[in-house]
A and B are shown apart, each in its own frame.
Chain A
């Protein structure tokens, strides 16, 4: 029995290791001190106001949000179509195609970034928002495919077949039957894609046009061996967004589908 307690204690310690540092950032965001670290001198919202007045940060924030939404839209569209093919149809070479779709995960992001950058440069296409968008879409696509595919397996094919046999054409069937059924999977995939894009730094550093910053690259640029209190506040906001948005969307989606079913 005591072995089990050891395992339990160990697990708690590992969870503590995973979450304590994040909790410290959340806590220090409210520290009134001029410095980003300990000790905590008092409670203050000062650094959040400073954040809102910092134009560079606000601009980076808008870039990141726009990029995240566009990536989610694009990656989810591509991902749903591909997943439908993989789940719904038997065809030759499926295993190879699946590996190809997943391949961006297996290529180190640094290599992916340099490859695309140098290729586009050779085509004389300069770094742009579009490069960031296409690149982020590629990075997010495998995850969208995996998530959407896993959900699609659970949706029965018979609904679509019934619609077809009742005279709906393939396009009607897709928009009226398949798409509503796939919506929860699409939401999950889109959220995943948004989070991946919003968080990406490794490839973004290579792809961003000079002068364009996303939130992670902005934070990276602000780090100078110490963490400024503004970064803590920014971290707080980012965590609220990347944890809050999925939770919000998740409950919205649940509400929406419950109402439809009723």
Chain B
């Protein structure tokens, strides 16, 4: 008994206290608070009343508009995640196995997009796919079309924008995982009679799944929580759940509904994260930074 008290060392807690205090006050408490606030009643623009009523939640559960938004958000997040996985896996594999002398350059370029402004990267697609964009310019110049094709401000443009911004997360995570796989395993499988494809499918792919999983989780959660990309690249019908929150808080000034929607999004994505961590553990998520 005396021994355990002797072993207690308060020093790490001194060091941790500022960060833990800040996180508790600014993340944990507000997250609990929006649950309480979701029972408040909205009276008028930016005016609400302390109450305990389920009106906001009832609206969320009964109004088809919200159901559609949830469905659309999950659907977009799945599409973006799957495409990012397919696009990202092969370059990660290439970077790991290339004998190219300046491999560091490929890796640096991979981290570079994190430094380039998100909004600039997003709006750059207007230059590529817009009516005065590069694709239309080239097609008109070649004489293939004479009216610009309308490619912007629709679901496709939003998906492209998301993938462009989140792809580096995917490649980096897969890279970290693939880099840790023993290089001798694939040749060993080959000598035991595997075709190259079999060796990849049976040995390398399963070993890289933690990284692929971590990349998928990140891309899924980031996509499902966004609202800016649809505002810039989407049309009026392209909204995600985050856009409803934006509308409720910024446009309608209906704070209790904003709190309700935020908490709902937190729960939906929380379920995804918990399911994932049961399956894979969260450790892999940190590895990409090392």
Contact = CB atoms under 8 A, between A and B. Distances in A.
Interface of A: 3, 7-8, 10-11, 14-15, 17-22, 24-25, 28, 35-39, 77-79, 81-82, 84-86, 88-89, 91, 97, 99-104, 106-112, 114-119, 121-122, 134-135, 137-138, 141, 143, 145-147, 150, 195, 198-199, 201-202, 205-206, 215-216, 219-220, 223, 225-227, 231, 235, 238-239, 242-243, 246
Contact of B33 (A122, A137, A195, A202): A122
Contacts of A114: 34, 245, 249, 258-259, 262
Contact of A110 (B164, B245, B282, B290): B245
A22 B124 contact: yes
B31 A107 contact: yes
Report which residue of B31, B119, B123 has the largest number of chain A beta carbons within 10 angstroms of its beta carbon: B119
B20 interface: yes
A110 B262 contact: yes
Contacts of A225: 153
Q: Is the interface of A mostly helix, strand, loop or mixed?
A: helix
A59 to B, nearest CB: 18
B141 to A, nearest CB: 9
Contacts, number: 249
Nearest to A217: B119
18 contacts: A7-B90, A11-B90, A21-B125, A82-B15, A89-B11, A102-B286, A108-B269, A110-B242, A115-B31, A137-B22, A138-B26, A199-B118, A215-B117, A216-B118, A220-B228, A220-B231, A220-B232, A226-B126
Interface of B: 9, 11-13, 15-16, 18-20, 22-23, 26-31, 33-34, 37, 87-88, 90-91, 93-95, 98, 106, 109, 112-121, 123-128, 130-134, 137, 153, 164, 167-168, 171, 196, 221, 224-228, 231-232, 242, 245-246, 249-250, 255, 258-259, 262-263, 265-266, 269, 273, 282, 285-286, 289-290
A99 to B, nearest CB: 7
B221 A106 contact: yes
Given A138-B22, A238-B117, A238-B120, 4 more contacts: A115-B31, A116-B30, A134-B22, A227-B127
